[in-house]
Structure formats: C-alpha cells, structure tokens
Structure 1
C-alpha cells in the first residue's frame, strides 16, 4: 500500500506543544474545585469543565468528559479530596466515585488511596481540614507517580519495539485514545508512539476511529496532529485489509483492566485487532501502568463489562462548539430506525495468549502468563497480590 493512502505527513517536527491541561485542582475564592478538559468537546474546541462537588465529577466521568484508565484514577483521588475539602460525606463520595465506571480498575484504586490517606489522618486525630489536606496530598502524589510511570513506559515500550522490529521504521496501529488525555503524563501506548516519533523511528501511526464514540478519530488524531506525528485515520472495519496488505508492524493499545491471568479489558474493538495480529504474525503490545492490574479478578470471564446507552450506536452526535457533555441520548442524527435495539458494550476482553507483551512501569511481561503477572505485581510498589 503506497503513501497515497497516507492521511497526514507534517514534515519537519515542530516544537513540542505545551502540555494539555487535562485535569487540575484549583482553589478560587468560592472554594476548591476540580477542573477538567471536557473531552466530549474535542477536537472542535478546548473547553474546561469545573466540578464543584462529587456528583458533578461523577457525571463528568460517566459522560466521558474525563476518561482513560490512569486519568480516572487521578480524578477519583481528587474527587475524594474535593469531598473532604468541602465538608461532604467522604465515605459516600468515595463509593459514588468508585462505582461511576465499573471496568476501569484504576478509578477505584485512586479513590482508595485518597480515602485511606484521609482515614489515616482522621484516626491520628487530625482536624477535618488536616484530613482533607492529607487526601489532596495523596491525590497529587498519584498524579506525579502516573506522569513518571508514563515516561518509564515510553522508554520501555520503545526498547521493546526496537527489539521486536529491527530496522527502526515502525508502522504502528492503535485503538481508542491512550495519550496525554488519559494520563498524568504523555499517556500509555501513545507515549510509546510519541517516543518512537521523537527518535525518528516512527514511519506511520494508523489510528482506528474507534466506534461508536470515535475516540480515535476525535482524540488520538487530535493528539497526533498536535504533536506532529505522521498519522492516518481508518475505519475500524478497514483494519483487516491493512493487515492483509502488510502495512502494520505492531499493534499498541492501552488497558482498563488486566486480570490475574493476564486477560486485558480494553475499549471495544481491541479483541478483533488481537485476533488479526495473531493471524498475521504481528506483535500485539499492551501498555498500561501497574495500577491497571487487578489480581482480585481471576480471569477475563470475571471482568465486569460496562454497557452504555444504545443511542450511542443508533445516533451520531458530533462534537459541537457550545455543546454540553452527555451520553448521546438526545440531539443526535439518527442512524437506525426508531426503536432499534443496540448492543453497546464499552469494552471487550483479549485473552493473554493473544498478547505479545504487557509493558508497565514495573517491567515488561512476555509471554503474558499468570505467573508473569504475579512476578510483576510482586515487583511493583503499587500493586500487591492479596
């Protein structure tokens, strides 16, 4: 396949863009708030959403104004700190946050860390203000740790790519969005791609559109363009022809949960890519922080899969300047007859035998086995076998 199919070649690399203001804590005179870049408005416009309480943050999580497994953990931690700082019921807030999206294990992890810090301070006789500060300090610590993990994964992932694909002209296919929009740093799988680009070893990034909510088309393409990457967007069902043409050297994806046996829950459409990669002898690499590993979930079959509104499939709602984040239940363009039922799982599960390697900040597991996952968890500072 020649480069007449190439979507975007941006020539010489421009200066690195400023960091995306994805999530931040702010303290205006009216009281502390969590400020989010509203991802439902991208790429049309960069607009921030201000959450003054936990219900607002939960809505932002459920409507995907804030999304991505690592970032959800950070948001959850800041949400606990917000409840504490504003004098709300911290335990109730933690429960609401942890249950906002059930598949992404990082969300509950972040909530738990901030809640444990708050409880520990309270148990030591801290005032409510001091306990709130303890929760905020832990949220900030998690934010920093995730940025550091992102950088480590980028380095490890690029080294693995170079080992698997000698020659240094990588054509990488990715699915959904795994960049700065999901992370305290530059992302997970996208951070590896960005490292390859900066090293002059990325020939092309193939971007799956990622139906039905188009996170690839809206968000990954946005980040690729912002960073000057050579990228091409494709419909999800064109991936097979791309593999058949020999145009994919590796698949790099993120994860929302990795179970004890190494099964990977990720954005719907990931599993078919793993099957295609296996058939075509293409490495299939998962990049995720160690907090994404959930040793309490024994295997893929035990993973709780979130199902979203059918209207996301039966209607199309494009980002519109001035629009309000929502679940796509109103205001969309009909794609199917009125009353059509839709099957709309947010995630699918890829079995470990289809995964070439799992890259984390605590190390790389390859092949991906239960024993390898246990060893990785034992090395990690953040995940322990319970």
Structure 2
C-alpha cells in the first residue's frame, strides 16, 4: 500500500485547512463541507447526518465480504490557540487542541488508499462531530451508522493522536478497558440568605459546600475498592455575589472518572450520602444530580491483538507498545465498541525537538502535533480494514 510524498502533502494540506476552521459540538458545517470536498470523486457512497454535521462514507469492494468501520472525530475545543503561524485557528475561542483535524485527514487518506486496494466487502468511514462532550458517536449510532453498509460491521477501529507522553510514531493500546468513564456531578446547597453582620439570622450554604468539597476524597476512599480506581475532582465552587451578604445557594461541581460500573455507582452513592449528611449538620438542604457522560471504553482482546500485530508487521516491532494500565481520559467511541468488537489505539505525535514528558498536552492552548505521522495513521486505518476483510 503506497503512501508517497504527494499523498502525504495532500494530507498535510487538508489537516491545515481543518486546523484553520475549528468548529465546536455537533454542528460543523465548514468541516463537513471540507470532508465532502476531499471525498469528491472517490466513488464512495456519501451520507450526511440529520441531527449533526456527520459524514458517513461507504466503500464497496468488487468482491463480496463483511463490513469494517473506521472512525475519526472532527470537532474542536473551546480554547483560544496560542502562538502564530500560517495555519493557526482563524476562530477565536476555538482550536483543534486534541488533534481531531489530524484524525480527519488520516481517515480521508485511508479512504483513498482503500479505494485503490479494492477490499473484499465494505468499509464504513465514520466522520463524527461532537466527541468533546456532545455525544456525537451515540447520535450517529442512533442514525444508523452501524447499518450504513447494509449489515453491521464485524469490527470497528479508531485512532487518536497524542501531543505529549509518547514519542512520535509510537502506537499504543491494550485489551479490555483502555479508557475510563466520565460523569459530572453537581451538588446544590440551599439555605437562607441574610446580612453578613448577622450570620445567625441566616442559614449559610457556603460552609456546607466547602465541607462537602473537602470531604469528597475521604468519602470515596472509604467506599470504593482501591484496586478498582476512581478519580473524583472538584472543578468548581460557586456561591454569592456581594461581600456583605450571606447567599442562599452554593454549588459544587465534580468531575468523576471510573473504570467499572460497580465503582462508578459506589462513588456517586458515597458522594451523595456524604453531601446529605453535611447539609443536615449545617441546617441546609442539598440536591445532587449526575450528568452521565461517556461509558468505559473496552477493547476487544482479539481485535486489539490483531491491531497490534498489524502495526508490527507494517511498521516494525518497535512501533507498538502495550499500555500497562487504562488511560484516565474518556471517549464516546465507547458507544461503538459496546455494539461492535474493535480496538481504540493512540499514536504519539509529539513534534520533533520536544520532550514528550514536558510537551504541551492535548487540550492545552499550546498543543502541537507532528504532521509527520499523518501518512502512518492513514495507512494503519487502511491496513486494519484491508487485512480484516481478507
């Protein structure tokens, strides 16, 4: 499967086009248009989403066979990009700080490679908006992406670049749990407002909110198996406006991460129980609500072994490493892997001359990615599909 200089230049050009026009959430009209333009003339069956700016493309080989799905996410983050250059974000407050522009260019490249390779069966290319919290993968599943080829895929694969931690060009993954679940919990404490000079005439929710924020870790540690880890992080505390008034309401927001359904449930129960006890002790009320985020991302062991073998055969033994433990991030590709066996891999894309240990990470305003891995990412996508359909 040939990926020459011209092929690589085309991917760089597309990636930079996308990097200039980052869009957020489920509505990505300019991004969608750029993808459709890039796929024009490939002969793929193209379909756009109804409730989101997705693109589903289907390549049908000349020989019969099953279907394989390849996913790339397309949305950006609400971050203002740092630095200058010829292709920095033209949209203040939006940036491709997680490398989704890289993924999109790679998947377009894979479509071109697979069109020439003519696989047996079909390949579904899933260009997905709304990975950064908007649940785009679940919406695409509801809109029928898994049935786009006429039958469900026998396997699904996704690839994600990493700006730090890994050396450029190294692919990593692991069987089983590879990414955690993410949830957001909000604790709303309600008391009675009053004058700050007479706090005894009010019922301040501020003290309860602060106590709850400080008690989270103790409550979770006492309730969850230490060998089934969780992460509970207080990310916001809001209360009051005037410096001489006791507010009637205080809110605490927590970001929760877990790696099993049991730990996920026990963590939420422990925090809510602790918050209720603290509220009662302070003479205020509390309401707890949890916004369920993405579930645990689980790799199929056989598909992960197949993906690892493919990396080693195509790129060399030193280009793949098994992760010793799951990563703490979360991914809505989990919704696809809950339906179809597959694998999620990460690819180091730390720019040359930067130390992966200190380079700006994904989701930071200074994140930078090595465009040199674009061709390898496209080729791996294509090789996974082609070999799985052989």
TM-score range normalised by the length of the shorter chain: under 0.3
- TM-score (norm: length of structure 2): 0.27
More helix by share: 1
State the structure with more CA Rg. 2
